[in-house]
Chains A and B, each alone.
Chain A
Amino acid sequence: MILLPAVDIRDGKAVRLRQGRFDEETVYADDPLEAARSFVEAGARFLHVVDLDGAREGEPVNLHHVERITHELEVPVELGGGLRSIASIRRALKAGADRVVLGTAAFTDPDLLDEALAAFTARVLVGVDVRDGRVSVSGWTRETQTRGEDAIRLMQGRGVTRFVYTNVDRDGMLEGPDLDEIRRVGEAVRGRFLYSGGIGSLADVQALRDLRLVNLAGVISGKALYEHRFEVAEAQRVLDG
């Protein structure tokens, strides 16, 4: 398992939102590259970058920052936020992203999903953002009626094998993940998934590790790292254990 520090970009700054709310933002670095660099210097092996402006606009807005990050730093980067056309996905990959995370588009545009999977195969991940048990789309502004695990099964039926599962209610709260929920997700996912949402301490990281889910490939952490609740290297050591 790997730890993926999250670099969420809004207005050209590295920020964290609480529970996906755009009006509850904390700025952690004026330059996303510097935030990313500090994580890499601390031992990160992969970065999870989110273009928050893009998620709201429906197309990437901060690709120039993504490009700076992929050019300057020696780790792979996955990017989500506003990727709702093949052209946008191509631009994201051209900016140096190794993997793209499709959210809204995966749920609302089946043709695009098919096309993206055919063209980019394992570089495509689907983000399942769950709020109050239901999948949330359009930059967490719209809820659907689909339950998280149902969404995963639906996507698997279309050929998706890699997921990023986020509990939006827990995101930015530092109160720990719901381990039963993650177990259920682990049972639903036939490929691999990353978990995100609510990681607040090294004990939370250890608890995820202790689940010993073979398909849980990694854990995404944002606020806890920015606030030095634990450091990248020690969390990675726990996950390696």
Chain B
Amino acid sequence: MSARPGIAILDYGMGNLRSVYKALEHVGAKPELTADHARVREADAIVLPGVGAMPKAMERVRALALDELLRERVASGVPVIGLCMGMQLLFESTSELGGAEGIGLLRGPVEQLDAPKIPQIGWNEVAWRRSSVLNEGLPDPCAFYHANSFAPRPNDPGDVLGTADYGGEFVSVVERPPVYGLQSHPEKSGPDGLRLLRNFVDAAA
């Protein structure tokens, strides 16, 4: 186990990444904000953050060729975790803003939550489908802070690690090693959010 796993936080110019950076540092990683392919290739694991609209984010991801880079790193077995909208980017497509393609590391579309009021903004409990490296040491259910209008619908039910309820069940955590995704904001979810990030970092070490 290397002392402090290097984690590349993909910086494609959307959103404030400082709190993700601080949280990763807090759990013993050596994070770096970068979109530089050479730097990302040196990382032990990759975090794909995201806020805002997925089609816009996807444009930037593609402009920086981060989609191809992610496919390459995942093929080499490097752990990748998508956070919030970053998790949606991992899927094949979205219906947001008239529709767009995603990176397609996980199969299935991203669709709007079927709830009377969106976005959901607040704490919501995630129930686990099974135990995994990601939820080790976490309670079941476990509350995470969510802020989203959309959520993925994985084609393979086996990719679903955790679900929550907002006007119906939605997928909040996905796992298809080495690809992971969280619809919530672990960096804003207190000690349990940090624990999950630590689990991810430990898996990368």
Contact = CB atoms under 8 A, between A and B. Distances in A.
A237 interface: no
Contact of A96 (B19, B120, B123): B19
Given A71-B22, A123-B121, 8 more contacts: A74-B26, A74-B189, A76-B145, A98-B121, A98-B147, A121-B118, A122-B117, A161-B117
A119 to B, nearest CB: 12
B130 interface: no
A2 interface: yes
Nearest to A123: B121
Contacts of B123: 2, 45-46
Given A98-B147, A99-B121, A161-B117, A76 B188 contact: yes
Interface residues of B, number: 24
A12 B51 CA distance: 30
Interface string B50-71: 0000000000000000000000
B19 A70 contact: yes
Contacts of A75: 145, 188-190
A74 B186 CA distance: 8
9 contacts: A45-B190, A46-B123, A74-B23, A74-B189, A74-B190, A75-B188, A99-B121, A122-B119, A161-B117
Interface of B: 16, 18-19, 22-23, 26, 117-123, 143, 145, 147, 185, 187-191, 193-194
A115 interface: no
A40 B191 CA distance: 9
A121 B118 CA distance: 8
Contacts of A123: 121
A74 B187 contact: yes
Contacts of A46: 123
Contacts of A91: none
Contacts of B143: 45
B117 A71 contact: no
Given A74-B19, A74-B194, A98 B188 contact: yes
A44 B185 CA distance: 16
A45 B184 CA distance: 14
Contacts, number: 52
A31 B163 CA distance: 39
A45 B123 CA distance: 8
The residue in A45, A96, A123, A191 that gathers the most chain B C-beta atoms within 10 A of its C-beta is A45
A94 B145 CA distance: 18
A98 B121 CA distance: 8
B15 to A, nearest CB: 10
A37 B143 CA distance: 20
B119 A40 contact: no
Contacts of B185: 76
A228 to B, nearest CB: 21
Contacts of B191: 74
A94 B119 contact: no
Contacts of B194: 74
Contacts of B22: 71-72
B183 to A, nearest CB: 15
B192 to A, nearest CB: 10
B193 A94 contact: no
Contacts of B189: 74-75
Q: What 10 pairs between A and B have smallest CB-CB spacing? A: A71-B18, A76-B188, A122-B121, A76-B145, A122-B119, A71-B19, A75-B190, A74-B190, A74-B23, A74-B187
A78 to B, nearest CB: 10
A173 to B, nearest CB: 29
The residue in B118, B120, B145 that gathers the most chain A C-beta atoms within 10 A of its C-beta is B145
A46 B123 CA distance: 9
Nearest to B119: A122
Nearest to A67: B18
